[in-house]
Homo-oligomer: A and B are copies of this chain.
Amino acid sequence: MHKKPLILVTNDDGITAPGLRTLINAMKTLGDVIVVAPDSPQSGMGHAITVNSTLHCDKVSKDDAEILEYSCSGTPADCVKLAVHEILDQKPDLCVSGINHGSNSSINVIYSGTMSAAIEAGIEGIPAVGFSLLDFDWDADFSQIESFVKTIASNVIENGLPNGVVLNANFPKLKKEDIKGIKVCRQAKGNWVEEFDKRKSPMGKEYYWLSGEFTNLDKGEDTDIWALENGYISVVPCQFDLTAHHFIQHLNTWQLND
């Protein structure tokens, strides 16, 4: 008899987020689930960790609850570290993060708390996936994508992932029957063109809100942006070896030691 896989579930929108609830429900059908999630929204936290202050972590589920849930004061990456090194006594077989309320395609992966949790799990040697739905609405309809989430996660459980690779899955805001399928992609080149919304406080002091518009700089049809704009779910394999290996040879021609 196969032992059920142990699945660690986390996110960056916080433990009360509807996207997390959908992910828990989907994972319950695949294995034993434990939830360690931030106690407050952590969007845009990138791969932040808490080094200069303390962390709190509280069990929030009842002792007889079907699923163990912990609420932590830190970032998504902190949650994974706490789960693996403090809460769990065995390494999870899978870590899933999300479902994020909003896109983590293209360059958004860099700013993503959702993906930082998946990457942190990957660094720990745990197969991991981040899930994001292109709908910022708190009441987004996650039920449309639940079966696809299960398909991706069960494929990861079945096949494993090589060391140093985690998956970034993004879902278009479409009805289930209008989704054309799952497409393996590369990260589209793109950036945010920022516009700071400059305001004045009641005391007359200037302050800013970060805003701006995402610009796709990539015409490729093998990118996550293309897939999402054309009705597909995008799955990008991501690595955390940031070395630009292709540039090493050229860099060695520079006059760095004269």
Contacts and interface: CB of A to CB of B under 8 A. Distances in A.
Contact of A46 (B55, B82, B116, B151): B116
Interface string A229-258: 000000111111111110110011011110
The CB with the most chain B CB atoms within 10 A, among A81, A206, A241, is that of: A241
A151 B256 contact: yes
Contacts of A109: 242
B151 A208 contact: no
Contact of A184 (B50, B123, B252, B255): B252
Contacts of A164: 189, 244
A43 B52 contact: yes
20 contacts: A43-B52, A44-B50, A46-B46, A54-B207, A55-B209, A56-B205, A56-B208, A57-B208, A107-B123, A107-B240, A151-B256, A152-B256, A165-B247, A181-B256, A184-B256, A186-B241, A186-B245, A187-B242, A235-B251, A239-B244
Nearest to A43: B51
Contacts of A78: 210
Contacts of A186: 241, 243, 245, 248
A43 B159 CA distance: 37
B257 A82 contact: no
B49 A48 contact: no
Question: How many protomers of this protein does the assembly include?
Answer: 2
A198 interface: yes
A16 interface: no
B243 A210 contact: no
A195 interface: yes
Interface string A99-113: 000000001011100
A141 B188 CA distance: 42
A248 B184 contact: yes
B111 A47 contact: yes
